[in-house]
Amino acid sequence: MLVICCGLGNSALSATSVHVGASSYSVSGQSALILSAEMESKGPVADDGLRHPAKTKWDLQWRFQQKESNVGCAIDSIGISLGITHTKPIWRDKNQASQLLLERWTLFENALTQIQEYHVDLALQTATEIEARA
């Protein structure tokens, strides 16, 4: 697990804690068709109710502390917590696969990583926007 703590802005004391975790499920097979069928039957269920090869789920929570004075109320501090979990397949018997299938799997894994990174960036941007509006 990766834990990142950072301040997102300077309007009020802020701290963002980011926790990144990973989970996986096993697939096996010696053809792209079999691997695809394995992912369709074992992959994580998304919000649309369908199974997908991979999923990035994020949970964003925030808490504001206010301070009061004779002039009025203001935000004293902001705490933002972002939890991100990646779920993707692990190909268990790839050591028995053809070179071509291994190369295709590597391209597939790289594409999944790019999509996951996009979702992390989106979650971090959202946390930044929440903090900026405070």
Q: What digits encode the pLDDT tens for the residues 27-43? A: 999 999 999 999 999 99
Give 11-27 pLDDT, tens digit per residue.
455 668 899 999 999 99
**Global confidence as pTM:** 0.76
| Domain definitions of the chain by residue range | 2-132
Name the residue among 70, 76, 95, 87 with its Cα closest to residue 20: 87
Beta strand 73-91 pairing with 13-27: parallel
Give 100-119 pLDDT, tens digit per residue.
999 999 999 999 999 999 99
- Please give the angle made by the CA atoms of 134, 121 and 1, to the nearest 5 degrees: 100
Query: What is the per-residue pLDDT for 77?
Result: 83
